[in-house]
Structure 1
Amino acid sequence: MRVVITGAGGFVGSALVERLATSGGLSPDKPGITELVAVDSVVSGAPEGVMVLEGDIRDASVQQSIVEKPCDVIFHLAAVPGGAAARDYDLGWSVNVEATAALFAAVAAQDSPARLVFSSSIGVFGVPLPRDRVDDATLPLPTMSYGAQKLMMEYLLADFARRELVDGVAVRLPGIIARPRQPGGHLSAYMSDILHALAAGKTFTCPVSRTAASWFMSRRRCVDNLVHAATVSGEALGGRRGFNLPALHLTMDELIEGVVEHFGPSVRDLVRYEPDAALVAQFGAYPPIETPIADAAGFVHDGAAADLVSRALDLESTNTANTGAVA
């Protein structure tokens, strides 16, 4: 089985490469991985045995290298994230739409349809969101270029799947934590930054209010769900090719209480709030999310705030006796 991961040098992609290189397969009842290809502009520290392909995903030669041999499964994670796509529209369009569409077409030219797992985003939903809930019937109405670009590619993937050119699945990722504290294109970086700061005993100025509610998922759980997306049957999805993943719906207070269970009540005093109205509107006004399609198909969230924090900060190797958190 030949498996390709684009965006393999990124936060989620690198963890997915590590998982598949370590496990050697997608599931116990599937053939083992004979070739794992990691694609990105830079891929650092790839495990032994992983084939590394460095280059710009917009480059036709890179796309052709991806499909020079048939792909059985391809995870397309490469993207220009929301903030960066807003600041540089041309860059976002060229990567998130043009390069993605070209890659889909290259994979579709294979003799046998590959399972193509596309990392879409909850950014397909704009603001304001419905007050009561978001579910599988909620109409995507993006209000950011990034969300619009992801939605376009969801529709293209569904059309390719309808024509039986690819076996496509688009999973809409929520806020994935805890990303490293570094400059980047994610407007929602505060969701990760607050965990790193509190874990280090440092003060943190939160740009949304304590009651601001968002959808969260740890990187480890995200990788679990991506791997599951590579093997879940089309029948289990009820004909849907793009859908929401289960996520924890938490206020910032609830997230901080998850941190308290690991690091003690003193971390509450490290946080002060200076809400940014635009960030609150875009990322802090999320209603509960219901995901019956994903639930029935076996996708899962992190369970509880303390478990989310444990996975997000890789605390399983430290003393978590006070929380009872499990991996």
Structure 2
Amino acid sequence: MSHIVITGANGFVGRALVRRLQEDPKHQLTLIDQSFDSAPAGPNTRRVLGSFGDPAVLDDALRLPADIVFHLASVPGSLAEREHALGYQVNLQATLTLAHRLAAQGRKQRRAPRFVFASSVAVYGPLGADAVHEDQPARPAISYGAHKLMAEIELADLSRRGELDAVSLRLPGIVARPAAETGHGSAFMSLVMHRLAAGEPYVCPVSAQATAWWMSLPCCVDNLLHAAAMSTAEAPASRCWQLPVLHLSMEQLLAALVERYGARCRQLISHQPDPRIEALFGNYPALRTPAALAAGFRHDGDAARLIQQALAPTP
């Protein structure tokens, strides 16, 4: 039986990942979060309440050495920018505390645990019109992206030393997040789906021509699980993969919503672009990820499939 630890287990991605892992009774799960109002429970599932950077929480969570760790917890981008000290403490300091605690465990066990890190496309910063390739230089323009990049570098170094077996995944916008969730500057990517699917008007903070990188929650979970099981024998020194994405404009997404929910969707949406939001989240060029595809990572396929999976009811 493998022991799997998940930080941020009560979050949007965490809950979906837990549900999938609970389908296999061979897994023993330890879930870490600061609340568990709706995190799934099960016979082989244990909850640890608190911050993943707290030594006492880690003592509790790692009483049984971890085989795999999914590190999903973070302070989201817009909130981390407004509250810099909070973002720094959680997204960088606590992440490094967790990584080094696991590295110490790996040295003691003489077996490096697999560490799957939810990084972000925010590491790239502003992008031009040219297609992005997997060796695109990282120049983060917000603290969230800077802290994710710093964590990637340290995880790669610990893996070089044989103390961790890290896989960092640069995640795009994951949809469709709960409509009431706050703190994400890319919230429009989920809200437009929720509102139009419900037949409600929506004022979009980016233009119809704005382009973003998209991935549904089920597709994200598939990629996380693949990262936990894949061989890292041929991994790049960075231990980092840019996940394949769908590159869609808001107009392309709207066309798929019209196809699924009817022509009335066109009358429900209006655009009042916010220059800052569009610059940060609505100006993405095409993305080329041949190495990630060769390694077994996948995107949703097309806009219709993205919407179907993004709005699928959760169990």
TM-score (norm 2): 0.95
Q: Which residue of 1 aligns with 2:54?
A: 59
Shift of 1:223: 0.3
> Is the partner of 1:61 in helix, strand or coil?
helix
Aligned equivalents of 1:310, 1:52: Cα separation in 2 = 31
User: Which residue does the alignment assign to 1:121?
Assistant: 120
- Structure 2 unaligned segments of length 5 or more: list them: none
CA positional deviation for 1:12: 0.2
Q: Of the candidates 265, 268, 287, which is equivalent to residue 267 of structure 1?
A: 265
Following the alignment from structure 1 to structure 2, what is the Cα–Cα distance between the partners of residues 170 and 86?
22
Deviation at 1:183, TM superposition (A): 4.2
> 2-side partners of 1:238 and 1:158: how far apart?
9
Q: Compute the displacement of 1:316 (Å).
A: 10
Counterpart of 1:104 (choices 90, 99, 121) is 99
Q: Verify: 1:79 aligned to 2:74, yes or no.
A: yes
Residue 256 to residue 305, structure 1, CA distance change in 2 (3 Å)? same
Partner of 1:209: 207
Task: Check the 8 A contact 1:74/1:116 in 2, yes or no.
Answer: yes
In structure 1, distance between residues paired with 2:9 and 2:164: 21
Task: Give the conservation status (yes or no) of the 8 Å contact 1:245–1:300.
Answer: yes
Q: Which amino acid aligns with 1:267?
A: C
Indicate the residue corresponding to 1:156 in structure 2.
154
3-state SS in 1 of match to 2:51 = coil
Structure 2 SS opposite 1:109? helix
Contact 2:9 2:39 survives alignment (8 Å): no
1:127-159 CA-partner distances (Å, limit 9, x unpaired): 1x0311111110000000000000000000000
Counterparts of 1:300-319 in structure 2, within 5 Å, are 300-314=298-312
**Secondary structure class of the residue paired with 2:5:** strand
Paired position in structure 1 for 2:134: 136
Give the deviation of 1:300 after TM superposition: 0.3
- C-alpha distance in structure 1 between counterparts of 2:30 and 2:224, whole Å: 16
SS in 1 for 2:47: strand
Q: Where does residue 180 of structure 2 map in the other structure?
A: 182
Tell me, which stretches of 5 or more residues in structure 1 are unaligned?
Answer: 25-31, 318-327
Partner of 2:222: 224
Alignment check: 8 A CA contact 2:156 2:237 kept: no
- The equivalent residue for 1:90 is 85
- Of 116-125 and 46-55, more deviation after overlay is shown by 46-55
* 2-structure distance, mates of 1:70, 1:39: 15
Partner residue in 2 for 1:27: none
Deviations 1:141-179 (A, max 9, x none): 000000000000000000000000000000000000000
Q: Which moved more, 1:12-21 or 1:238-247?
A: 238-247
Contact preservation (8 Å) 1:67, 1:106 = no
Aligned to 1:18: 19
C-alpha separation between the residues in 2 aligned to 1:172 and 1:236? 18
Residue 323 of structure 1 aligns with which residue? none
* Separation in 1, partners of 2:211, 2:255: 14
Deviations 1:107-134 (A, max 9, x none): 001122100000000000111x031111
Deviations 1:181-209 (A, max 9, x none): 11411011010001000010000000000
- CA deviations on 1:221-248 (whole Å, 9 max, x unpaired) are 0000000000111135344401210000
Specify the alignment match of 2:63 in structure 1.
Answer: 68
Which stretch shifts more, 253-262 or 242-251? Answer: 253-262
Partner of 1:243: 241
SS class of match (2:60): helix
What is the root-mean-square deviation of aligned Cα atoms in Å?
Answer: 1.4
What is the aligned partner in structure 2 of residue 37 from structure 1?
A: 30
Q: CA deviation at 1:261?
A: 2.0
Distance in 2 between residues matched to 1:230 and 1:242, nearest whole Å: 13
Structure 2 contact 153–238 (Cα < 8 Å) conserved: no
State TM-score, norm by structure 1: 0.91
Structure-2 separation of matches of 1:40 and 1:220? 21
**What CA deviation, in whole Å up to 9, does each residue of 1:202-223 have, x standing for no partner?**
0000000001000000001000
> Residue type matched to 1:243 in 2?
W
